[in-house]
């Protein structure tokens, strides 16, 4: 699995969905927009419904619940994770990233354009709040 770079400042949910689906950001954005999901909508990174709906359009099954993060070792092989979690004016916000364990490698795919590498292994710097298990 490869990272997909978000093409909009607030497009991390679309980019994470694209990475899980193995498609480009543009393709995921087209599908999201057709569903009424837009990167500029703050609920894309303050609620889980939009990302769940988009992933469903790609036939990707996810857990119906958010599981509190305990340790990197306890994560499933694929997960959509909430990092940079914070409260702003009484509303929850976070940045979406993808955790993947495949071919003996463990990595976080972070869509943020400004990163030197979008494949992250600096786990001590990443502070997940919770995750959603990805089944397929």
Percent of the chain with pLDDT over 90: 83
Segment 26-37 mean pLDDT: 96
Q: Considering Cα of 43, then 5, then 15, then 61, what sign does the dihedral take?
A: negative
What is the reported pLDDT for 87? 87
At residue 136, does pLDDT exceed 80?
no
Residue 6: pLDDT band with limits 50, 70, 90: very high
- Between CA 27 and CA 128 the distance in angstroms is 27
- Between CA 109 and CA 35 the distance in angstroms is 24
- Between CA 32 and CA 38 the distance in angstroms is 7
Q: What is the residue-averaged pLDDT of the chain?
A: 93
**Coil, strand or helix at 44:** helix
pTM assigned to the model:
0.93
The string of pLDDT tens digits covering residues 45-89 is: 778 999 999 999 999 999 999 999 999 999 999 999 999 998 888
Tokens of 35: 């569903």
Alpha helix ranges (H) inside the chain: 12-21, 25-34, 49-57
What is the reported pLDDT for 22? 97
Alpha helix ranges (H) inside 36-132: 49-57
What is the reported pLDDT for 40? 85
């Amino acid at each position: 699995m490869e990272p997909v770079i978000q093409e909009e400042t607030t497009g991390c949910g679309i980019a994470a969905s694209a990475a899980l689906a193995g498609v480009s950001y543009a393709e995921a954005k087209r599908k999201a927009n057709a569903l009424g999901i837009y990167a500029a909508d703050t609920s894309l990174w303050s609620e889980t419904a939009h990302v769940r709906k988009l992933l469903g359009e790609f036939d990707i099954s996810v857990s119906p619940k958010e599981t509190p993060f305990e340790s990197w070792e306890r994560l499933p092989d694929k997960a959509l994770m909430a990092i940079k979690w914070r409260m702003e004016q009484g509303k929850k916000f976070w940045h979406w990233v993808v955790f993947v364990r495949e071919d003996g490698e463990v990595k976080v795919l972070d869509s943020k354009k400004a990163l030197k590498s979008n494949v992250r292994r600096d786990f001590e710097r990443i502070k997940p709040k919770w995750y959603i298990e990805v089944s397929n």
